């Protein structure tokens, strides 16, 4: 029971101090509120830009054009390419990271000293700046001296061009994404696995239930909320991926890796087309907003359960 | 010192009324126990006085001044919490010293902390952190913290709930003199009627947000205001039977399990009372092998030896079960034996079945 | 679940080793590269054993790079300092704003509070460019473009939601009675906040601060858009450095090592809080 809730049940404050008590939470959160507004203003501005013909190099052409920017996308192959690449990138990274993360979490499930040490060491890629991680992999995949290029050549694959070849560029950035973010899924799932109640597993072991049955019928369902939370987290980040792709190839080769934010960035700074850039971002926002609403609901439920109520 | 006065205090949380027309005066140096089942609104009452939330209606006065709206730190109220609420990052010494609201000089703080901790026998653990203290030491530290500032009103929220039985027993003996020394007006919340009777000058019985009786402990025990109050005081709790008392030949009688027993009439002239509860405390029953006038035949169902007495579970012919608490040496037989149960007319309490109120002298709502 | 069978144990051991190699190899390899000369780096096949050199670090620290195209002045150390300044200032600002707000959200249930908390949370998941691009236009008008003040202000958008949600959980775990007790002992709510609530939530505040520092440090896109060369942090600086220095691979590797060392050390130091922070306290039991 909170003070304000209680205070609010009183129709009329009887003393000024009570009024002050009621204002207190608002005063305390005022700075955070101002920050909120400070974010909302450019956000609304972006929404307005997306309805304008607005090019930085042609300011006199600026004007309201309704949803024309959006309608233009429908017939624009570049937009469909962006949408497709973004979705493929997201699907690939999330699925790979989920499978790998789950596998590693299962490997490290028992809290032995070695397992804990490994799980701590695996934090390091996650704590590396993604843009820097991209540079690291760029060095390792350099065609003239990159260790990875050398290693694949040992297997008879010569002249593998990694990110600079359209056919392997997506694979390369996905690899970097997997390297950086798999530990994230692993950590969440490991925490989930270790918080599962023991009894179902002990009972299953006593009854001699086969391991595959235990995994698919007990472990996975009980872990499901954690899996959903972790994947939604990654889904939201992945569909907005910018750092790795920009640092690695700036969207290239050609338009091979033109995901939403990279495309929007180039629209803005290279083609100075603010309206189009804003419209692209609004579409991305719409997608993430739908996803994040699902996510926040799910996450709050998990959090409430972790706190022992609901 | 100042008296604490509650005037028709009311408080609701949504649809739940936790306090209803509460009026009570606690004199300086007096200890009033607020006793009631859990959820009866005891803690809400304390917290309204402490300023954690405000009443919807009524007024709370300390020394004649209303403290409604005043922040907790300006109310002259000290409080000891059920869960101790010690500051985990401060030593016992600093916990206690934090209670000195007047910014006393360093030397004075030390000497007052020392004297109060000597009084509470915790001077040897002053340097310890709360997590290093036993529950008993935590309790004493919390008490010292509440007492050291010499508050005008001292609120104790079930302070012995979380300490072990031995310490609870010791504290029951020590607390009254300790509290009286502070000459604060003390409100002492407890769920244990024995604790309330041992510590308090008066007991305020709180049931569902209402004060149903405020009186001296022995008065509440002897003349509970209602069946509900009678049930709360006493262990084993009071025996009840549905009766319809009648005035016969200048005496009041009632039929219990087919036997007509004499009751004492609260009026000069016995009268018919309609449907009633008859209440007799287990201690007031005597059990004998021999029949006689007003002796109710019963069977012993079970005998439970308890420390200083034996408790018999008795079943009457009509199936009603009563308990009798007897001295352990009163050998009246064993299970399955047939016996006869008696009680003195003045031991019988009569309650109106519809209202639950005791028939007799009107319950004294305000015993000053 | 078969822990005892030999084949199972071998399989688990091999799998664990592969996992370690995949995730650790890039870090180890780049670290080794940073101590090699260009000739050593370009040697085929690569060697595990080599004579380490500090020349790359010396060049970075002095700012004088010798490239095939001539001498180059690059202030990578300035990038490093910018990262420190921007991240620390942003975290301090976010703590100053976020801790009182987190306290308000934890102690009082009020509608505005939930709205703020959720707005900030949902912006954690909004495309950053959506806010940044219009903001860069505003900043140009306001003269905030390419100022530390302006960049810090945006940086703390990374830190604030994290701090709010983590610290809020810690405040919620403190029994309100402890604060009530302190106030009844004659202290104002402000004293109860600073002397009871904040010290007791201390570990959570420290963890949230460390984590948000790491996230600020690792941020790339904010500074890419708002900062010019002399205000850029290492993430953007390293990329510019790659473009500028061309084939000085040893120096690039050294720059990468310098860029990630502070956060990796912090991460190891604060690792037990990371789970909680990464999931915004989701799996706190």
DSSP secondary structure, B166-221, as one string: HHHHHHHHHHHHHHHHHT-EEEEEES-HHHHHHH-SEEEEEETTEEEEEE-HHHHH
Establish if C92 belongs to a structural domain: yes
| pLDDT at res. A1 | 36
Over the stretch A127-156, which tens digit does the pLDDT of each residue have? 999 999 999 999 999 888 888 888 888 888
Instruction: Out of C176, C178, C186, name the one closest to residue B73 (CB).
Output: C186
| Minimum distance, in Å, between the CA of residue B89 and any CA atom of chain C | 7
The minimum CA-CA distance between C188 and chain B, rounded to whole Å, is 6
**Is any Cβ of chain C less than 8 angstroms from the Cβ of B138?**
no
**Separation of alpha carbons B353 and B228, rounded Å:** 11
CB-closest option in B72, B88, B98 to C180 = B72
Q: Predicted ipTM?
A: 0.88
Convert the pLDDT of each residue in A198-229 to its tens digit: 888 888 888 888 888 888 888 888 888 888 88
Same structural domain, C267 and C187: yes
**Partner-chain contact A104 C19, CB within 8 Å:** yes
pLDDT at A9 over 90: no
Indicate the number of domains in chain C.
2
Q: How much is the average pLDDT of B49-65?
A: 90
Confidence tier at C278 by pLDDT (50, 70, 90)? low
Q: What does the pLDDT look like over B223-250, one tens digit per residue?
A: 899 999 999 998 888 999 998 888 877 7
Please determine, for residue B364, whether its predicted confidence score (pLDDT) is greater than 50. Answer: no
Identify the helix (H) or strand (E) that includes residue A301: helix A274-306
**Higher pLDDT, residue A307 or B214:** B214
Three-point CA angle A189, A190, A194, nearest 5°: 115
Domain check: are C97 and C232 in the same one?
A: yes
- Per cent of chain A over pLDDT 70 is 90
Given a cut of 60, whether residue A10 has pLDDT beyond it is no
pLDDT of residue C94: 92
**Does residue C119 share a domain with residue C47?**
no
Number of residues assigned to chain B? 368
Q: Which two tokens stand for residue A22?
A: 């009621």
For residue C251, give how far its alpha carbon lies from the nearest alpha carbon of chain B (Å): 49
Chain B residues touching residue C177 (CB < 8 angstroms) = 81, 83, 85
Domain assignment of residue C283, yes or no: no
From chain A residues 5-64, the ones with a CB under 8 A of any chain B CB are 6-7, 9-10, 13-18, 21
Which pLDDT score, from 0 to 100, does residue C280 have? 57
Residues of B within 8 A of C199 (CB-CB) are: 89
**CB pair distance less than 8 Å for C220 and A32:** no
A29's CB contacts (< 8 A; 6+ apart) are C100, C101, C104, C105, C112, C113, C116
Work out whether the CA dihedral A41, A46, A52, A57 comes out positive or negative. Answer: positive
For the purposes of burial, counting CB atoms within 10 Å of the CB of A24, is it exposed (0-12), middle (13-18) or buried (19 or more)?
buried
Whole-number average pLDDT of chain B: 86
Q: C184 and B81 in contact by Cβ < 8 A?
A: no
pLDDT at B205: 94
C132 and C226 co-located in one domain: yes
Question: Quick one: how far is CA B66 from the chain centroid?
Answer: 27
In the block, which residue shows the tokens 């990630």? C260
Q: For chain C, which chains pass the contact test of at least 3 CB pairs under 8 Å?
A: A, B
Q: What was the pLDDT predicted at A219?
A: 87
Per-residue model confidence (pLDDT) at position C32: 92
C217 shares its domain with C109 = yes
Please check whether residues C38 and C116 belong to one and the same domain.
no
B73 and C196 in contact by Cβ < 8 A? no
Mean pLDDT of A176-192: 92
Of all residues in chain C, the one with the smallest CA distance to A195 is C285
Q: Which CATH number fits domain A78-306: 3.30.200.20, 1.20.120.330, 1.20.120.400, 1.10.3720.10?
A: 1.10.3720.10
Indicate whether C238 belongs to any domain: yes
Is the residue at C285 inside a domain? Answer: no
Question: Residues B20-42: pLDDT tens digits?
Answer: 899 999 999 899 999 988 888 88
Domains, chain B: 4-224 (3.40.50.300), 239-352 (2.40.50.140)
Say whether residue A114 is in contact with chain B using an 8 A CB cutoff: no
- CA distances C209 to A129, C167, C265, Å, are 17, 10, 15
CATH code at position C219: 1.10.3720.10
CB contact under 8 A, C26 and A291: no
Query: Which chain B residues are Cβ-neighbours of C188 within 8 angstroms?
Result: 71, 73
Q: Does C138 touch chain B (CB under 8 A)?
A: no
Q: What's the pLDDT score for residue C69?
A: 60
Question: B57 to chain A: nearest residue by CA?
Answer: A10
C91 and A CB contact within 8 Å = no
Average the pLDDT over B4-14 and give the result. Answer: 90
Residue A29, pLDDT > 60, answer yes
- The pLDDT value recorded for residue A89 is 95
Q: What's residue C88's pLDDT?
A: 95
Q: Is the dihedral of CA B208, B214, B217, B220 positive or negative?
A: negative
For position A2, what pLDDT does the model report?
39
Which candidate from C181, C189, C200 shows the least CB-CB separation from B81?
Answer: C181
Within a domain: C1 = no
A246 pLDDT above the threshold of 90: yes
CB contact (8 A) between residue A29 and residue C112 = yes
List of chain A residues whose C-beta atoms are within 8 Å of the C-beta of residue C249: 139, 142, 145
pLDDT at A306 over 80: no
Does position C198 have pLDDT exceeding 80, yes or no? yes
How far CA A109 is from CA of A55, A118, B350, in Å, comes to 55, 11, 68
The whole-number average pLDDT for the span B138-165 is 88
What is the per-residue DSSP string for C228-245?
Answer: -GGG--HHHHHHHHHHHH
B127 Rama class: left (phi>0) / alpha (psi -120 to 50) / beta: alpha
The whole-number pLDDT of residue C3 equals: 53
CA-CA distances (angstroms) from residue C135 to B71, B276, C93?
Answer: 44, 80, 19
The answer on C86 and C23 residing in a single domain is no
Would you state the pLDDT for residue C70? 65
Q: What is the pLDDT of residues C25-46, one digit of tens each?
A: 999 999 999 998 888 888 877 7
Q: What is the pLDDT of residue C277?
A: 66
Q: At B71, phi and psi to the nearest 5?
A: -65, 155
- CA torsion, points C232, C238, C243, C248, in degrees to nearest 10? 140
Note the pLDDT of residue A310.
Answer: 33
Is residue C35 domain-resident? Answer: yes
Is C260 found in the same domain as C119?
yes
What confidence score (pLDDT) does residue B365 get? 39
- Which residues, 6+ apart, have CB-to-CB distance to A37 below 8 Å? none
Give me the pLDDT at residue A11, please: 33
pLDDT at C285 over 60: no
Q: Which residue shows structure tokens 């700074």?
A: A269
Residues C118 and C94 in one domain: yes
User: Taking each helix axis from N to C terminus, what angle separates A130-140 and A166-195, rounded to the nearest 10 degrees?
Assistant: 130
Assess contact for A257 and A169: CB atoms under 8 A.
yes
Residue B367: pLDDT band with limits 50, 70, 90: very low
Last residue of a domain, one of C51, C73, C95: C73
Report, as an integer, the average pLDDT of A10-27: 57
> Average pLDDT over chain A, rounded to whole?
84
Predicted pLDDT of residue C22: 94
Per-residue confidence (pLDDT) for residue A5, from 0 to 100 = 40
Query: C127 and C15 in one domain?
Result: no
Between C176, C187, C200, which is nearest B73 by CB? C187
Choose among C30, C41, C219: nearest Cβ to A136.
C30
Please check whether residue C195 lies inside any domain of the structure. Answer: yes
Tell whether C49 and C93 lie within a shared domain.
no
Is residue C21 predicted with pLDDT exceeding 70?
Answer: yes
Most distant CA pair in chain B, distance: 78
User: For residue C99, what are the domain limits?
Assistant: 77-278
In the predicted structure, residue B129 carries a pLDDT above the cut 80: yes
Could you read off the pLDDT of C154-178 as tens digits, one per residue? Answer: 888 888 888 888 888 889 889 889 9
Same domain, C22 and C113: no
* B70 neighbourhood in chain A, CB within 8 Å: 15, 17
User: What pLDDT, on the 0 to 100 scale, is given for residue C114?
Assistant: 75
Best to test chain B binding among C178, C182, C183, C186 (most B CBs inside 10 Å):
C186
Q: Contact partners of B by the rule of 3+ C-beta pairs under 8 A?
A: A, C
Using a pLDDT cut of 90, give the percent of chain A over it. Answer: 29
Residue A253 pLDDT: 86
- Contact by Cβ (8 Å): B188, B196: yes
Q: Do C178 and B85 touch (CB under 8 A)?
A: yes
Q: Could C239 and A201 be called an inter-chain contact, meaning their C-beta atoms sit closer than 8 Å?
A: no
B281 CB within 8 Å of a chain C CB? no
> Residue A15 — very low, low, confident or very high, per pLDDT cuts 50/70/90?
very low
In which residue are the tokens 């202000």 written? C153
From C188, B46, A202, A20, select the one nearest B18 (Cα to Cα).
Answer: B46
| pLDDT at residue B105 greater than cutoff 80 | no
Q: What is the pLDDT of residues B320-350, one digit of tens each?
A: 899 998 887 776 778 888 899 999 888 888 8
Q: How many CB pairs under 8 A join A and B?
A: 28
Contact B68/A at CB under 8 A = yes
Determine the Cα–Cα distance for residues C180 and A248; give it in Å rounded to an integer: 55
- Going from N- to C-terminal start, the domains of chain A cover 3-49, 78-306
Contact B149 C186 (CB under 8 A): yes
Chain B residues whose beta carbon lies within 8 Å of the beta carbon of residue C180: 50, 52, 72, 79, 81, 85
| Percent of chain B as helix, strand, coil, to the nearest 5 | 25, 35, 40
User: Tell me, what's the pLDDT at C279?
Assistant: 60
The region of weakest confidence among A110-124, A261-275, B97-111 is B97-111
- pTM of structure: 0.82
> How does residue B268 score in pLDDT terms, banded at 50, 70 and 90?
low
Read off the pLDDT of residues C83-100 as tens digits, 9 standing for 90 and up: 999 999 999 999 999 999
């Amino acid at each position: 029971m909170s003070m304000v809730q209680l205070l609010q049940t009183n129709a009329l404050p009887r003393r000024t101090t009570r009024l002050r008590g009621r204002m207190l939470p608002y005063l305390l959160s005022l700075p955070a509120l101002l920050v909120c507004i400070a974010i909302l203003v450019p956000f609304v501005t972006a929404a307005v830009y997306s309805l304008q013909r607005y090019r930085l190099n042609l300011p006199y052409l600026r004007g309201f054009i309704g949803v024309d920017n959006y309608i233009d996308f429908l017939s624009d192959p570049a937009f469909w390419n962006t949408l497709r690449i973004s979705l493929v990138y997201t699907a690939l990274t999330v699925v790979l990271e989920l499978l790998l993360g789950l596998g590693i979490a299962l490997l490290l499930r028992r809290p032995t000293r070695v397992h804990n040490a490994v799980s701590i060491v695996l934090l390091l890629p996650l704590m590396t700046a993604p843009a820097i991680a991209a540079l690291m992999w760029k060095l390792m995949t350099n065609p003239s001296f990159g260790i990875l290029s050398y290693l694949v050549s040992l297997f008879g694959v010569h002249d593998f061009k990694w990110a600079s070849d359209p056919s392997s560029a997506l694979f390369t950035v996905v690899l970097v994404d997997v390297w950086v973010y798999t530990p994230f899924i692993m950590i969440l799932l490991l925490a989930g696995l270790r918080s599962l109640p023991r009894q179902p597993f002990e009972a299953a072991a006593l009854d001699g239930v086969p391991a595959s049955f235990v995994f698919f019928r007990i472990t996975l369902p009980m872990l499901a909320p954690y899996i959903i939370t972790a994947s939604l987290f990654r889904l939201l980040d992945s569909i907005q991926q910018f750092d790795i792709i920009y640092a690695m190839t700036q969207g290239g080769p050609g338009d091979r890796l033109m995901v939403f934010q990279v495309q929007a960035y180039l629209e803005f700074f290279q083609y100075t087309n603010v309206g189009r850039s804003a419209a692209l971002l609004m579409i991305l926002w719409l997608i993430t907003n739908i996803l994040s609403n699902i996510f926040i609901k799910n996450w709050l439920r998990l959090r409430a359960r972790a706190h022992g109520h609901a | 010192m100042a008296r604490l006065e509650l005037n028709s205090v009311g408080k609701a949380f949504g649809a739940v009324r936790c306090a209803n027309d509460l009026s009570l005066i606690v004199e300086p140096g007096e200890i009033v126990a607020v006793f009631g089942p859990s959820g009866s609104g005891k803690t809400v009452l304390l917290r309204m006085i402490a300023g954690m939330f405000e009443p919807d209606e009524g007024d709370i006065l300390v020394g004649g001044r209303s403290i409604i709206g005043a922040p907790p730190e300006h109310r002259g109220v000290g409080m000891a919490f059920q869960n101790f609420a010690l500051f985990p990052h401060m030593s016992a010494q600093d916990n206690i010293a934090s209670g000195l609201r007047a910014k006393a000089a360093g030397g004075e703080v030390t000497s007052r902390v020392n004297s109060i901790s000597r009084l509470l026998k915790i001077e040897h653990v002053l340097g310890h952190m709360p997590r290093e203290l036993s529950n008993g030491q935590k309790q004493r530290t919390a008490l010292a913290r509440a007492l050291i500032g010499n508050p005008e009103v001292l609120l104790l929220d079930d302070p012995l709930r979380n300490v072990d039985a031995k310490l609870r027993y010791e504290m029951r003996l020590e607390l009254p003199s300790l509290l009286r020394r502070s000459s604060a007006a003390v409100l002492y919340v407890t769920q244990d009627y024995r604790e309330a009777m041992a510590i308090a000058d008066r007991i305020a019985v709180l049931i569902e947000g209402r004060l149903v009786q405020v009186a001296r402990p022995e008065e509440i025990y002897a003349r509970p205001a209602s069946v509900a109050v009678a049930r709360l005081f006493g262990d084993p709790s009071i025996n009840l039977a549905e009766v319809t008392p009648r005035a016969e030949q200048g005496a009041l009688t009632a039929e219990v399990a087919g036997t007509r027993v004499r009751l004492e009439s609260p009026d000069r002239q016995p009268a018919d009372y309609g449907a009633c509860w008859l209440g007799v405390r287990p201690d007031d029953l005597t059990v004998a092998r021999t029949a006689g006038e007003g002796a109710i035949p019963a069977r012993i169902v079970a005998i439970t030896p308890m420390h200083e007495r034996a408790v018999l579970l008795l079943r009457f012919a009509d199936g009603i079960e009563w308990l009798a608490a007897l001295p352990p040496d009163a050998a009246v037989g064993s299970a399955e034996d047939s016996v006869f149960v008696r009680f003195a007319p003045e031991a019988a309490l009569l309650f109106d079945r519809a209202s639950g109120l005791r028939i007799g002298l009107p319950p004294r709502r305000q015993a000053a | 679940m078969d822990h005892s069978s030999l084949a199972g144990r071998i399989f688990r051991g091999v799998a664990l080793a592969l996992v370690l190699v995949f995730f650790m190899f890039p870090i180890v390899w780049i670290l080794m590269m940073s101590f090699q000369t260009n000739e050593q780096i370009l040697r085929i096949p690569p060697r595990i054993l080599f004579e380490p050199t500090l020349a790359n670090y010396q060049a970075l620290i002095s700012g004088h790079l010798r490239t095939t195209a001539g001498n180059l002045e690059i202030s990578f150390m300035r990038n490093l300092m910018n990262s420190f300044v921007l991240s620390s200032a942003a975290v301090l600002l976010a703590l100053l704003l976020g801790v009182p707000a987190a306290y308000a959200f934890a102690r009082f249930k009020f509608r505005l509070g939930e709205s703020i908390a959720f707005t900030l949370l949902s912006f954690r998941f909004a495309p950053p460019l959506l806010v940044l691009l219009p903001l860069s236009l505003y900043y140009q008008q306001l003269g905030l473009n390419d100022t530390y003040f302006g960049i810090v202000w945006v940086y703390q958008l990374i830190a604030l939601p994290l701090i709010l949600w983590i610290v809020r959980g810690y405040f919620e775990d403190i029994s309100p009675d402890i604060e009530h007790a302190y106030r009844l002992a004659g202290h104002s709510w402000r004293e109860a906040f600073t002397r009871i609530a904040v010290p007791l939530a201390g570990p959570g505040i420290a963890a949230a601060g460390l984590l948000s520092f790491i996230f600020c440090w690792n941020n790339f896109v904010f500074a890419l858009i708002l900062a010019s060369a002399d205000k850029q942090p290492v993430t953007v600086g390293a990329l510019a450095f790659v473009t500028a220095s061309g084939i000085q691979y040893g120096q690039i590797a050294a720059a990468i090592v310098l860029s990630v060392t502070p956060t990796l050390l912090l991460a190891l130091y604060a690792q037990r809080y990371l789970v909680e922070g990464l999931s915004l306290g989701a799996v706190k039991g």
